[in-house]
Copies of this chain bind each other. A is one copy, B any other.
Amino acid sequence: MLLADIANLLGGELIGDGNVDLQDVAAYEEASPKDLSYVESAKKLNTHSDAGALIAPRGLEIGRPGISTINPRLSFARAVLLFRPPRKFQPGIDANASISETALVGDGVYVGPFASLASGVVVGGGSYVGAGVHIDQNVRIGSGCHIYPNCVLYADVEIGSRVILHAGVVVGADGFGYIPDEEGRIFKYPQTGRVVIEDDVEIGANSTIDRATLKETRIGRGTKIDNLVQIAHNVEIGEDCILASQVGISGSAKIGRGVMMGGRVGVADHVEIGDGAKLGAETGVPKSLEGGKMYLHTPATEIHDARRRIAVLRNLPKMAERINELERKIGKLES
C-alpha cells in the first residue's frame, strides 16, 4: 500500500514521500523498512527504528515519511485493520451442525460443525456460531455476533448485536445460592432468572456469567470483559466498562458506567461501584465505592492514600525497629 493512500484512508496529513510502498504494520522497535509503525512523542524517537514510515502527532519532526494525526495510536490501530483485515467467514450451516426445527437463523449466518441450537433459539443476521457451541432453548442472539467455538449458552439467555464471546465462555449457568433446610442440609436455591448481554459487549475466553436468581444478570452495552472472569448472579454492569482478566464480581453487585478494573479485582456481594471508578489490579472491594475516583489495594482505598499505605507497608520491618528503639530510649529517659 502506498503511504499516500493510507494517509487518505486514515484522514491524516501526509509527511514526505507518498509513494513509499508499505507491506505490513509493526511495533516501533521491530519494524522493517517495509513496515508502517507509529510514535506518540519525541522521546520515543531516541530509540532506533527501521520503520519505512511512521504515524506521528502533528508537529513532531520524524525525519522520514509518515502521516500526522491527532491520535497516532488510534490511527495505527486503524492502519492494522487496513493491512490485516479480519478474515471474512463464508455464511452457511455446516452439515454437521444440529439445528432444531423451531430455531430461527437469520441471513448470512454461519453455524459451525458440531454446534447445536435447541428449540426456540433465534440467531440474528450475519452472526457467527463457532464449532461446538451449544445454545439451549429460547436463547436469542442479535445480529453480527461472533460466538467462538465451545461456548455454552444456557436456556433463555439474551445476547444483543455485535457481541463477541470468545471460546469456552459460559453464559447462564446457575447462580451459586444455597440455604440450610430444617435439617441443616444444604438446599439449592432455584436459579430461575436469566442473563442479558447488551450490544457490543466482548467477553474473554473461559469467562462465566451466571443467570439471576429471579430476574436478570445484565452486562451493559459496550462493556469489555477479559478471560477467566466470574460474574455472579444478579450482577448489573453498566455500559462501557473494562474488566481485566481473573476479575470476580460477587452476587447482586452493581457496577456503574465506564468503570475500569485491572486484573483480578474482587468485588463483594451487593456492593455498588459508581460511574467512572477506576480500580487498580488486585483491588479488593468489600464495601461500596463512589464513582469518578481511582482506587487501589485491599480494602479498596483512594489511590493517593493507598500508595502511601503501600509505601509504609513495604517498610514495616524498619518501622518495627524504630518502635523498639523508641521503647529503649523512653526506658532510659524514665529511669
Counting every copy of the chain, the complex holds: 3
Partner of A94, one of B98, B215, B248: B98
Using CB atoms, name the residue of chain B closest to A27.
B214
Using CB atoms, name the residue of chain B closest to A71.
B182
The reply to whether the CB of A73 lies closer than 8 angstroms to some CB of chain B is: yes
* Interfacial residues of chain A within 50-105, with CB under 8 A of chain B in the complex: 70-71, 73-74, 77, 80-81, 84, 86-87, 94, 96, 98
Decide if A189 touches B77 in the complex (CB within 8 Å): yes
Using CB atoms, name the residue of chain B closest to A228.
B230
* Interfacial residues of chain A within 232-254, with CB under 8 A of chain B in the complex: 232, 240, 242, 244-246, 248, 250
Using CB atoms, name the residue of chain B closest to A136.
B149
A interface residues, tally (CB under 8 Å): 105
Decide if A186 touches B242 in the complex (CB within 8 Å): yes
Using CB atoms, name the residue of chain B closest to A86.
B190
* Interfacial residues of chain A within 288-320, with CB under 8 A of chain B in the complex: 298-299, 301, 305, 308-310, 312-314, 316-317, 319-320
Chain B residues positioned under 8 Å from A263 (CB to CB)? 230, 248, 250, 266, 268
Query: Known contacts A26-B214, A132-B132, A329-B334: does B322 contact A319 (CB below 8 Å)?
Result: no
Chain B residues positioned under 8 Å from A299 (CB to CB)? 310, 314
Chain A 146-169: CB-based contact to B (< 8 A → 1; otherwise 0): 001110101100000000101110
Decide if A323 touches B320 in the complex (CB within 8 Å): no
Partner of A96, one of B98, B131, B154, B164: B98
Chain B residues positioned under 8 Å from A210 (CB to CB)? 205, 227
Shortest CB distance A181–B (Å): 6
The reply to whether the CB of A48 lies closer than 8 angstroms to some CB of chain B is: no
Decide if B74 touches A187 in the complex (CB within 8 Å): yes
Query: Known contacts A173-B166, A210-B227: does B116 contact A242 (CB below 8 Å)?
Result: no
Decide if A167 touches B154 in the complex (CB within 8 Å): yes
Query: Known contacts A168-B152, A208-B206, A245-B232: does B224 contact A190 (CB below 8 Å)?
Result: no
Chain A 323-335: CB-based contact to B (< 8 A → 1; otherwise 0): 1001101100110
Decide if B176 touches A227 in the complex (CB within 8 Å): yes
Partner of A173, one of B205, B214, B250: B205
Chain B residues positioned under 8 Å from A43 (CB to CB)? none
Chain B residues positioned under 8 Å from A87 (CB to CB)? 137, 155
Partner of A246, one of B149, B185, B248, B330: B248
Complex Cα distance, B70 from A73, in Å, reads 58
Decide if A244 touches B214 in the complex (CB within 8 Å): no
Apart from the given pairs A113-B114, A313-B313, A323-B323, 7 other A-B contacts in the complex at a CB distance below 8 Å = A74-B182, A77-B179, A81-B190, A84-B192, A131-B134, A148-B154, A176-B224
